[in-house]
């Protein structure tokens, strides 16, 4: 038994290329000069037979088709035990609509995230007779699969974009944005695709982990503004950047972590160009840049 994590989608919302984006990376991806990446999702298992999908991206149909380990093993048998969503963002929940078709699995989320899903009747496409919605309290371990234990914890973040009011707190600590601790196959790993900032609580949790899959949305906070794509900074979107004094590369220095893997990269992030200086800099700091189809075995 060993812990395996399969990157179903390495990109943030929009993917690479994003349908309406003419930025350098999106153009390179359309031209086949850098690898395209689908939207944010990770599949995990501790026994190879029973998997959980962490975040159901709008690309999940394609992602599952590309992943033999998750293909049907019988007429209506799939090795999928559960789906867990870490926030209510569209890139993490829209794929639930693809997972209809009367397929049993358990849908795990916090009370706050389940409320968002319940308020949208379109998600009733997941028939409650077969898809069990289980509410998970923070800091309370539960069986994600028969051989994987998960624990959800609050990380600084914000409500989904489509629920933002006039005032938005971008480092809210609550159950609207969570990280996941995974234990199984003798391994402890963390999955945190969205995080506004590193604090002592988070540092204390992550120190000593075998692997951390972490928010790699932007290289620099004003990257989208500089590219002429809008006014939003990473901070405004609830994502800490990789580089800079307040960035995640600096925040993880001195922590004892076996594997550090960036996930949820926005299409503007220069690390998505394999030959870029930023890709090399992240690598020199011990970070792996996730790519679709990559598998990490611990």
Q: Which residues bind Mn ion (CB under 5 A)?
A: 12-13, 89, 91
Cis peptide before 188 (omega within 30 of 0): no
Q: Which of 181, 184, 186, 156 is nearest to 170 (CA)?
A: 156
Task: Tell me how far apart the terminal alpha carbons of the chain are, to the nearest angstrom.
Answer: 10
Q: Do the Cβ atoms of 37 and 59 come closer than 8 Å?
A: no
Residue (81 or 289) nearer to ligand MLT, CB:
289
Q: Of the listed pieces 24-32, 43-51, 113-121, 257-265, which binds Zn ion according to CB under 5 A?
A: 24-32
Q: Do the Cβ atoms of 279 and 265 come closer than 8 Å?
A: no
In terms of C-beta density within 10 A (0-12 exposed, 13-18 middle, 19 or more buried), how is residue 28 classed? middle
| Residue 23 touches which member of ligand MLT, Mn ion, Zn ion, none, C-beta under 5-8 Å by kind | Zn ion
Based on the shown chain and the rule CB under 5 A, indicate whether residue 192 belongs to the binding site for Zn ion.
no
Residue (55 or 187) nearer to Mn ion, CB:
55
| Residue 49 touches which member of Zn ion, Mn ion, ligand MLT, none, C-beta under 5-8 Å by kind | none
In terms of C-beta density within 10 A (0-12 exposed, 13-18 middle, 19 or more buried), how is residue 229 classed? middle
| Residue 21 touches which member of Mn ion, Zn ion, ligand MLT, none, C-beta under 5-8 Å by kind | Zn ion
Residue (91 or 175) nearer to Mn ion, CB:
91
List interacting residues with ligand MLT (CB under 6 A).
12-13, 89-91, 161, 194, 237-238
Residues in 27-86 at the binding interface with Zn ion, rule: CB under 5 A: none
In the complex, minimum distance from the CB of residue 179 to Mn ion, in angstroms, rounded to a whole number: 14
In the complex, minimum distance from the CB of residue 14 to ligand MLT, in angstroms, rounded to a whole number: 7
24 strand-pairing partners = none
| Residue 90 touches which member of ligand MLT, Zn ion, Mn ion, none, C-beta under 5-8 Å by kind | ligand MLT
Q: Which residue is nearest to ligand MLT (CB)?
A: 13
Residue (38 or 187) nearer to ligand MLT, CB:
38
Residue 198 corresponds to which tokens in the numbers above? 């590193």
Per-residue H/E/C for 95-142: HHHHHCCCCCEEEEECHHHHHHHHCCHHHHHCCCCCEEEEECCCCCCE
In the complex, minimum distance from the CB of residue 46 to ligand MLT, in angstroms, rounded to a whole number: 27
Q: Which of 120, 104, 108 is nearest to 83 (CA)?
A: 108
Based on the shown chain and the rule CB under 5 A, indicate whether residue 23 belongs to the binding site for Zn ion.
yes
In the complex, minimum distance from the CB of residue 183 to ligand MLT, in angstroms, rounded to a whole number: 26
Q: 63-68 contacts: CB < 8 A, separation 24 or more?
A: 63/8, 63/9, 63/38, 63/292, 64/8, 66/292, 66/293, 67/6, 67/8, 67/43, 67/293
Across the chain, which distance is largest between two alpha carbons, in Å?
53
Query: 3-state class of 94 per DSSP?
Result: helix
Residue (210 or 292) nearer to Mn ion, CB:
292
In the complex, minimum distance from the CB of residue 88 to Zn ion, in angstroms, rounded to a whole number: 24
In the complex, minimum distance from the CB of residue 71 to Zn ion, in angstroms, rounded to a whole number: 31
Q: Do the Cβ atoms of 8 and 42 come closer than 8 Å?
A: yes
Residue (210 or 215) nearer to Mn ion, CB:
215
Residue (26 or 148) nearer to Zn ion, CB:
26
Which residues in this chain contact Zn ion in the complex, by CB under 5 A? 21, 23, 26, 267
């Amino acid at each position: 038994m060993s812990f395996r994590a399969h990157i179903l989608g390495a990109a943030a919302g929009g993917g690479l290329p994003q349908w309406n984006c003419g930025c350098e990376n999106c153009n390179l991806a359309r031209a086949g000069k850098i690898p395209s990446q689908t939207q944010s999702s990770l599949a995990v298992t501790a026994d190879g037979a029973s998997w959980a999908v962490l975040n159901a991206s709008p690309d999940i149909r394609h992602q599952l088709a590309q992943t033999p380990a998750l293909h049907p093993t019988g007429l209506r048998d799939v090795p999928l035990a559960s789906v867990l969503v870490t926030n209510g963002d569209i890139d993490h929940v829209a794929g639930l609509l693809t997972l209809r078709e009367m397929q049993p699995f358990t849908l795990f989320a916090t009370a706050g995230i389940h409320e968002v899903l319940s308020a949208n009747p379109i998600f009733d496409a997941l028939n409650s007779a077969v898809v069990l919605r289980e509410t998970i309290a923070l800091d309370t371990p539960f069986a994600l699969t028969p051989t994987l234990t998960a624990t959800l914890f609050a990380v600084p973040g914000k409500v989904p974009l489509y629920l933002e009011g006039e005032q938005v707190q971008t480092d809210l600590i609550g159950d609207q944005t969570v990280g996941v601790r995974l234990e199984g196959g003798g391994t402890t790993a963390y999955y945190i695709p969205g995080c506004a900032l590193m604090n002592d609580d988070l540092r204390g949790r992550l120190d000593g982990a075998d692997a951390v899959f972490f928010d790699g949305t932007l290289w620099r906070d004003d990257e989208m503004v500089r590219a002429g794509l809008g006014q939003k900074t990473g901070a405004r979107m609830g994502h800490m950047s990789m580089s800079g004094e307040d960035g995640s590369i600096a925040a993880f220095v001195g922590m004892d972590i076996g594997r550090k893997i960036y996930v949820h990269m926005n299409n503007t992030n220069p690390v998505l160009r394999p030959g870029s200086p930023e890709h090399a800099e992240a690598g020199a700091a011990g970070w792996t840049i996730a790519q679709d189809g990559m598998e990490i075995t611990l």
